[in-house]
Amino acid sequence: MSKGPDASSSDVERARELSKRLEVRAPQPTASPKPSGSYIRFDARFAPPSADPARSPPQGVPPRPAGSDWNALLEWVRIFAAANVVVLGDARGLLVAFCGDIAHERAEAMGARLALAFEQADRMAERTQPSRFLVFDFRGLVVSGLRIALPEGEPLVLGVAGPRTLEPGARDAVEKALEERARG
């Protein structure tokens, strides 16, 4: 096995060795358990303890912020959906924006995992149309994923985490708002 600077990126043993070294150096959060096995896991514990599952979403569609940037628009979604956290990423899972009580690293992870979940759902469905909406219920925290198709380019992936799912009427309003924002 070559260990020099010209080592192949496909050298699995070398990659494992480097990964173990990086894992030892990386600061480990005290509150998060280490995932076991090779499955990607959602960590449902990012909801703030003050989350009230009994609160109901606002009635009707609140006015969107004028000339809103992504952050203002996601804050509008968070309030409209009565959610704790909202993340927006591209189809590959790269974070575009997020809001709510979540660390940047967790927002990135949530966006990436939702993008992967949509990819896996598409493989299960074996349909020509990609999946549009996913829901994960963690008993007290519901993560709704919405894939927003854009006229040009790859779709956006929105994750909404809160006490309840993103209802169909709210999904349509949010999708429309994000489509309009993406068009500029």
| Residue from 55, 96, 59 nearest 173 by CA | 59
Task: Provide the residue ranges of all domains of the chain, joining segments of one domain with +.
Answer: 65-183
Predicted TM-score (pTM) of the model is 0.66
Token pair for 180:
């309009």
Phi, psi of 80 (to 5 degrees): -60, -40
19-74 pLDDT tens trace: 666 655 444 444 444 544 554 455 544 444 444 444 444 456 677 776 668 888 99
Q: Given this model, what pLDDT does residue 56 score? A: 46
For residue 180, what pLDDT band results from cuts at 50, 70 and 90? confident
- The domain 65-183: what is its CATH number? 3.30.450.30
Token pair for 24:
């030892």
- Give Cα 163 distance to the centre of its chain: 16
Residue 54, helix vs strand vs coil: coil
